[in-house]
């Protein structure tokens, strides 16, 4: 993306804006000793890019993602840099980092639909974010919240509904509406559709990607599903045992994987596909 697309207004979104993880490591202190969940990871998400972070369960995807807005449990040791728009946000004081959370970098966490507070309505969740981060309250906040709900395919009546009155797919959409509330430059989405049936999964994922693309945002999409990520994402980052073992354009990674791990994974998927073709499944 060319720098000529950039605007000169400070704080305005620019198309060349990048979110960079530089030599990021995450170590949890646990009763059974330290767990090195992320080891020296580096990769870049540019505004306008859809990047898939893939890897098997326990490979460190959530740990890497949650280190970006620094939302890991207290006591976790994080080293390396998280650079957004040229600023190392990993070293910012908490109150300064708050200006980046939601407004610049928003999150749909793993199991987002379970993270709604049961006694707060969907509209209440969205307007809380608007009040805290955008200073938007009252009728203006409600209008904006309803607009956001419509953007994710939920009609106005969802504003007053409570989390238990929504289906899993509707909750994921509401979580997405909340994440989009402050018009962020980057969206971090951790397995946003895992708990949903295959059809709803596809609907919600397609919607996330098309919203992100139409707004020129950068998306970091965590999933353990490599074929799904390859079909949706411009770039892939493959993690194994906390380390990045492969990254590049999705097509290149799938057609010409460099690491033995990715090669084995893709070979195994191809074997499954041909077995499905033989048995007539998976079509
Ligand atoms: N709070 C924690 N304390 C100690 N260890 C943790 C903690 N959270 C995660 N881990 C460990 O860190 C490693 C990476 O976990 P993480 O949740 O980042 O993996 P993941 O790739 O997101 O897995 P999944 O696909 O199952 O969500 C795992 O070995 C996990 O057991
Ligand atoms: Mg995870």
- Residue 14, pLDDT score: 59
- Say if 4 falls within a structural domain: no
Give me the mean pLDDT over the 256-275 stretch.
85
Whether residue 2 has pLDDT greater than 60 = no
Considering only CA atoms, which residue is closest to atom 24 of ligand 1?
Answer: 57
List, in sequence order, every residue forming a beta bridge with 82; answer none if it has no partner: 21
Number of folded domains that form the chain: 1
- Say if 11 falls within a structural domain: no
Taking only the tens place, the pLDDT of each residue in 208-252 is 999 999 999 999 999 988 888 999 999 999 999 999 999 999 999
What pLDDT band is residue 278 in, cutting at 50, 70 and 90?
low
Whether residue 8 has pLDDT greater than 50 = no
CA 186, CA 17: separation in Å to the nearest integer? 10
Whether residue 184 has pLDDT greater than 60 = yes
Q: Judge contact between 126 and 134, C-beta under 8 A.
A: no
Q: What is the pTM of this model?
A: 0.91
Whether residue 5 has pLDDT greater than 60 = no
CA 174, CA 67: separation in Å to the nearest integer? 23
* CATH code of the domain covering residue 209: 3.40.50.300
- Say if 231 falls within a structural domain: yes
- Say if 172 falls within a structural domain: no
- Say if 205 falls within a structural domain: yes
Q: Which domain holds residue 41?
A: 18-113+185-267
- Say if 32 falls within a structural domain: yes
- Say if 143 falls within a structural domain: no
List, in sequence order, every residue forming a beta bridge with 186; answer none if it has no partner: 105, 218
User: Which of 34, 53, 63 has the most ligand 1 atoms within 8 A of CB, as the residue to mutate?
Assistant: 63
C-alpha of residue 109 to centroid of ligand 2, in Å: 9
- Say if 146 falls within a structural domain: no
Whether residue 265 has pLDDT greater than 80 = yes
Strands of the chain, DSSP E:
18-30, 33-46, 50-54, 77-84, 87-88, 105-108, 186-190, 218-223, 235-240, 243-249
């Amino acid at each position: 993306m060319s720098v000529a697309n950039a605007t000169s207004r400070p704080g305005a979104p620019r198309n060349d804006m990048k979110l960079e993880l530089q030599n990021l490591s995450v170590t949890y202190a646990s009763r059974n000793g330290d767990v090195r969940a992320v080891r020296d990871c580096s990769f870049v998400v540019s505004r306008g890019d859809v990047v898939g972070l893939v890897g098997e369960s326990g490979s460190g995807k959530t740990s890497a993602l949650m280190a970006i807005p620094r939302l890991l449990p207290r006591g976790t040791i994080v080293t390396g840099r998280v650079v957004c728009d040229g600023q190392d946000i990993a070293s910012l004081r908490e109150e300064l980092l708050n200006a980046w959370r939601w407004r610049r970098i928003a999150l749909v966490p793993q199991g987002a639909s379970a993270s709604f507070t049961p006694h707060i309505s969907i509209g209440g969740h969205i307007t809380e974010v608007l009040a805290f981060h955008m200073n938007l309250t009252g009728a203006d906040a409600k209008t904006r919240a309803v607009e956001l709900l419509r953007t994710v395919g939920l009609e106005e009546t969802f504003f007053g509904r409570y989390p238990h009155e929504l289906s899993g797919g509707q909750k994921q959409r509401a979580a997405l509406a909340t994440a989009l509330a402050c018009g962020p430059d980057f969206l971090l989405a951790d397995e946003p559709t895992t708990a949903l049936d295959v059809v709803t999964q596809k609907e919600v994922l397609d919607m996330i990607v098309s919203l992100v693309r139409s707004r020129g945002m950068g998306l970091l999409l965590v999933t353990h599903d490599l074929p799904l990520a390859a079909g949706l994402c411009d770039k892939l980052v493959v993690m194994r045992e906390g380390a990045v073992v492969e990254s590049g354009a999705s097509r290149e990674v799938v057609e010409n994987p460099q690491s033995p791990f990715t090669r084995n994974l893709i070979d195994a998927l191809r074997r499954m596909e041909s077995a499905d073709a033989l048995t007539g499944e998976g079509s």
